[in-house]
């Protein structure tokens, strides 16, 4: 595996190790970068990306600490991953989703990253950070693998198109099993196939067994970022959805009219068109999980907040 020094416009290089190259995004975020074998051989090929978020014990200003657990530890021991592995370091009491997003954008700009195969994983503090990032930027991820972490169950619906495999130790006395269980329970109505592995005898360290299991990486690499696909829908069926709708709890009105294989939404002088993914599901953009679902009462608009609209005419 070849590891490269990372010269970026806003990156300051550090002394490169024999195994992984340190770099940092401005002075706020440092990370280890490991490029897969064959990265330089075919300059037209794009590679999947795995971002690993460490736990609280690896916080600070010393990147060597990040190699204590997980993928960076395994890379240092000689494991060869068929993907780009990036392991940032936080010097705070948690992870900043906005800064991680800036890192991801830099990586996609400066390396041959397959944007449809970006995977995020983390342990403990990094497990919490993984859930939070996925709730903020779900359209960036192809899959999520949080370990002994937790999040805000009310945000689970935002991850409805992000495949999740969660791990936790049943005897964890640092982060209770219920922290992961609440997230999984909240996600199941939107994603019945969500995966949840509980190690009956494991304590807080549920990550060693997880990262040593190649089935995790096989599963990750099989996932692709969700993209809506436009389909042909009978004009008569689209016409039945046309009408005037009012948002629950307000007087906001949206007028829906049928167009070719989609709908047009009008609110005052503002107009937007949406494409049909089915006879009842419509979307704005192939890459963003913002959709509207019609039912007998009206439609549910799923954006950053869920909004229910009732048909009145």
Q: Which token pair is 149?
A: 């972490």
Measured distance CA(175)–CA(189) in Å, rounded: 24
Question: What are the pLDDT digits (tens) for 266-312?
Answer: 998 899 999 999 999 999 988 777 899 999 999 998 876 788 999 99
Q: Which token pair is 125?
A: 């503090």
Q: Is 27 helix (H, G, I), strand (E, B) or coil?
A: coil
Pairing of the two strands 47-53 and 113-123: parallel
Domains of the chain: 21-221 (3.40.50.1820), 235-311 (2.40.128)
Whole-number pLDDT of residue 304: 64
Measured distance CA(5)–CA(34) in Å, rounded: 10
Measured distance CA(173)–CA(109) in Å, rounded: 41
Whole-number pLDDT of residue 15: 28
Whole-number pLDDT of residue 270: 92
What would the DSSP string read from start to end of 191-205? -TT-EEEEETT--S-
User: Element (H or E) spanning 128, and its range?
Assistant: helix 125-136
Q: For the ranges 27-31, 53-57, 155-159, 235-239, which has the lowest average pLDDT? A: 27-31
């Amino acid at each position: 595996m070849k590891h490269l020094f990372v010269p970026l416009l806003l990156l300051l290089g550090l002394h490169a190790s024999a195994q992984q190259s340190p770099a940092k995004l401005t002075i706020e975020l440092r990370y280890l970068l490991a490029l897969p074998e064959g990265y330089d051989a075919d300059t037209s090929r794009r590679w999947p990306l795995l971002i690993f978020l460490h736990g609280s014990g690896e916080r600070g200003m010393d990147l060597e600490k990040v190699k204590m657990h997980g993928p960076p530890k395994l890379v240092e021991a000689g494991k060869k991953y068929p993907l780009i592995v990036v392991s940032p370091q936080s010097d705070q009491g948690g992870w900043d989703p906005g800064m991680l997003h800036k890192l991801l954008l830099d990586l996609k700009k400066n390396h041959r990253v397959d944007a449809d195969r970006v995977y995020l994983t983390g342990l403990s503090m990094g497990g919490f950070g993984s859930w939070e990032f996925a709730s903020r930027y779900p359209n960036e991820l192809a899959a999520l693998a949080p370990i002994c972490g937790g999040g805000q169950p009310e945000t689970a619906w935002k991850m409805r198109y992000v495949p999740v495999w969660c791990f936790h130790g049943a005897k964890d006395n640092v982060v209770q099993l219920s922290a992961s269980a609440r997230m999984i329970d909240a996600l199941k109505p939107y994603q019945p196939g969500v995966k949840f592995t509980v190690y009956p005898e494991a304590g807080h360290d549920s990550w060693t067994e997880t990262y040593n299991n190649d089935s995790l990486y096989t599963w990750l690499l099989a996932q692709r970022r969700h993209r809506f696909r436009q389909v042909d829908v009978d004009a008569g069926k689209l016409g039945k959805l046309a009408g005037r709708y009012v948002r629950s709890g307000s007087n906001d009105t949206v007028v829906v009219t049928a167009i070719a294989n989609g709908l047009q939404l009008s609110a005052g002088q503002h107009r937007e068109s949406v494409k049909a993914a089915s006879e009842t599901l419509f979307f704005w953009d192939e890459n963003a999980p913002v959709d509207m679902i019609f039912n007998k009462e009206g439609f549910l608009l799923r954006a950053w907040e869920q909004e229910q609209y009732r048909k009145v005419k």
